[in-house]
């Protein structure tokens, strides 16, 4: 639990499977759901499998403590976009949430804040709850620009249309993703505090209750410390979410 403006809010632990997982991997998600059924966790839990698994996983996990989301959507509602998937399609497949603006998409596909903002708006229209990812590169941090970059990303990627709607921000320093490196706790707290400030500037009191997740090499052995840091409302977990054992240990660390 994290206290925000006098309210207790559940921490949110989200597992991003990225381009990993076939039908057999659903067993890992099932194992997480079974463990949470036997021993409920304090945290909210969601898994974001590749799009091909969403429909099956949503069916198998219906009624369990594990929610299912997608990893991206197109910035337009419908159209001639071969190979792409729109918000309504993810929703129709059973997704409740969607990760948007992950650095792997910003960097590989040139997604700008403007594109991410359009995607967030599409998610809102379809009733999908977005997790909006932000985070600085190694060189931006080395040049002392981390706060400035992240502030601009939050401001420009979170449209005013989502004011009061459920969404989260995930702070994922690019240099920490998949690298085994993590920022220090004071560095995480500094960025999270600056994100909270932008959220309140932009959305007023509603900005106070938006969960701010940390992501980037969250593992069973560092999860408790990271999740206990000020303004850390949860974790976005990549590699360690692929194993039910590791993911559960992170979920349990969320208190």
Which residues sit at the interface with ligand PGA, rule CB under 6 A?
16, 172, 177-178, 215-218, 236-240
Q: Which of 129, 172, 192, 231 is catalytic?
A: 172
Q: Which of 60, 74, 102, 104 is catalytic?
A: 102
Smallest gap, in angstroms, from Cβ of residue 204 to ligand PGA?
29
Between 33 and 240, name the residue whose CB sits nearer to ligand PGA: 240
Smallest gap, in angstroms, from Cβ of residue 205 to ligand PGA?
29
Between 17 and 203, name the residue whose CB sits nearer to ligand PGA: 17
Q: Would residue 102 show up in a list of annotated catalytic residues for this protein?
A: yes
Q: Would residue 55 show up in a list of annotated catalytic residues for this protein?
A: no
Q: How far apart are CA 239 and CA 178, in angstroms?
A: 7
User: Could you write out the three-class secondary structure of 150-206?
Assistant: HHHHHHHHCCHHHCCCCCEEEECCHHHCCCCCCCCHHHHHHHHHHHHHHHHHHHHHH
Contact yes or no for 170/127 (Cβ under 8 A): no
**The token pair that represents 168 in the structure block:** 């989260």
Between 183 and 203, name the residue whose CB sits nearer to ligand PGA: 183
Smallest gap, in angstroms, from Cβ of residue 237 to ligand PGA?
5
Smallest gap, in angstroms, from Cβ of residue 236 to ligand PGA?
5
Residue closest to 192 by CA, chosen among 167, 170, 225: 170
E runs forming strands in 24-122: 44-48, 66-70, 97-100
* Residues recognised as catalytic: 102, 172
């Amino acid at each position: 639990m994290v206290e925000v403006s006098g309210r207790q809010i559940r921490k949110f632990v989200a597992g991003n499977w990225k381009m990993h997982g076939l039908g057999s991997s659903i067993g890992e998600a099932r194992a997480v759901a079974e463990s949470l059924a036997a021993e409920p966790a304090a945290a909210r839990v969601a898994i974001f499998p590749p799009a091909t698994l969403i429909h099956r996983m949503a069916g198998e996990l219906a009624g369990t403590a594990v929610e299912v989301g997608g990893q991206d959507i197109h910035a337009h509602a419908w159209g001639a976009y071969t190979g792409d998937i729109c918000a309504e399609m993810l929703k129709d497949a059973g997704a409740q949430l969607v990760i948007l603006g992950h650095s792997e998409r910003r960097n590989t596909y040139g997604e700008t804040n403007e594109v991410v903002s359009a995607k967030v708006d599409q998610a809102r229209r379809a009733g999908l709850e977005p997790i909006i990812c932000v985070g600085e590169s190694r060189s931006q941090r080395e040049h002392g620009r981390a706060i400035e970059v992240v502030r601009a990303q939050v401001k420009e990627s979170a449209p005013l249309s989502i004011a009061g709607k459920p969404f989260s921000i995930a702070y994922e320093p690019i240099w920490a993703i998949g690298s085994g490196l993590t920022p220090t706790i004071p560095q995480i707290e500094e960025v999270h505090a600056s994100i909270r400030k932008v959220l309140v500037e932009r959305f007023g009191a509603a900005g106070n209750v938006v969960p701010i997740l940390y992501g980037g090499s969250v593992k069973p052995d560092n999860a408790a410390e990271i999740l206990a840091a000020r303004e850390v409302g949860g974790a976005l977990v990549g590699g360690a979410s692929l194993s039910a054992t590791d993911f559960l240990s992170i979920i349990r660390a969320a208190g």
